[in-house]
Chains A and B, each alone.
Chain A
Amino acid sequence: TQLLEQSPQFLSIQEGENLTVYCNSSSVFSSLQWYRQEPGEGPVLLVTVVTGGEVKKLKRLTFQFGDARKDSSLHITAAQPGDTGLYLCAGAGAGGTSYGKLTFGQGTILTVHP
């Protein structure tokens, strides 16, 4: 069983602060995706990282895939109240599993206070 441990589970910060969410596993993934999920809706894809060591930026969000493709991080610079939400990491292709089966972390609930 492939597990993705996401931390922290809860994060409450003030507007303007920086934060990092971590996603760790003992398994190697072929790719790792970050999603944002609003209450009562499906996960919305933010980014996919595929190459070990890869860094992708999406405005104030920076995503990194570990060199060994076992871990990833999401860093938000100068957080805004609009960043409030549930962030999920999900890995694909671990242990030779096929056809895009995603293993999800438990999520990080981020609250950014004005």
Chain B
Amino acid sequence: EPEVTQTPSHQVTQMGQEVILRCVPISNHLYFYWYRQILGQKVEFLVSFYNNEISEKSEIFDDQFSVERPDGSNFTLKIRSTKLEDSAMYFCASSEGAWDTEAFFGQGTRLTVV
């Protein structure tokens, strides 16, 4: 069964360093998303991406964040200068459509900023 895959599963980085989280969405899906979940809190929307551009972003997604689809299969989230409060599980998701979407999530990347 097709699935969204994320790498790495766990990333530890020092505060101020840049990290890139990688995702391979389901191949026939057109909409891609990043969400994050701080330990013990809700899953929060970060950004949606369609047709090679950001469709919508939340207030969390500030200038330190960027997304890219560098080729036909990968979808990346870059955090430029990590802060302690960026520590969270980051989930990539993809969907075929938008309005009546069924979003399928990857297993997540646990980012720990020390």
Q: Tell me if A64 is interfacial: C-beta within 8 Å of chain B.
A: no
A70-107 CB mask vs B (1 if < 8 Å, else 0) is 00000000000000000010101100011111111111
User: Across the two chains, which residue of chain A brings its CB closest to B102?
Assistant: A48
Q: Tell me what chain B mostly uses at the interface: helix, strand, loop, or mixed.
A: strand
Size bracket, chain B contacts: 20 to 34
Instruction: Given A100-B33, A106-B42, verify A31-B101 contact (CB < 8 Å).
Output: yes
Question: Which of B4, B41, B44, B99 makes the CB contact (< 8 A) with A31?
Answer: B99
Q: Tell me if A114 is interfacial: C-beta within 8 Å of chain B.
A: no
Instruction: Given A43-B91, A92-B99, A104-B43, verify A99-B105 contact (CB < 8 Å).
Output: no
CA distance A105 to B43 in the complex (A): 8
Instruction: Given A41-B107, A90-B43, A103-B45, verify A98-B56 contact (CB < 8 Å).
Output: yes
Q: Interface size (A, Cβ < 8 Å)?
A: 27
**By the criterion CB–CB under 8 Å, are B31 and A99 in contact?**
yes
What residues on A are CB-neighbors of B95 within 8 Å? 100
CB distance from B108 to the nearest CB of A (A): 5
User: Across the two chains, which residue of chain B brings its CB closest to A106?
Assistant: B42
Instruction: Given A41-B108, A99-B56, A104-B42, verify A92-B101 contact (CB < 8 Å).
Output: yes
A31-B101, A42-B93 are known; give 17 further A-B pairs, CB within 8 A.
A31-B100, A40-B108, A41-B107, A42-B91, A42-B108, A45-B105, A48-B102, A50-B100, A88-B43, A92-B99, A99-B55, A100-B97, A101-B48, A101-B56, A102-B93, A104-B42, A104-B44
Give me the interface of B with A, judged by CB distance under 8 Å.
4, 31, 33, 35, 41-45, 48, 50, 55-56, 89, 91, 93, 95, 97-108, 110
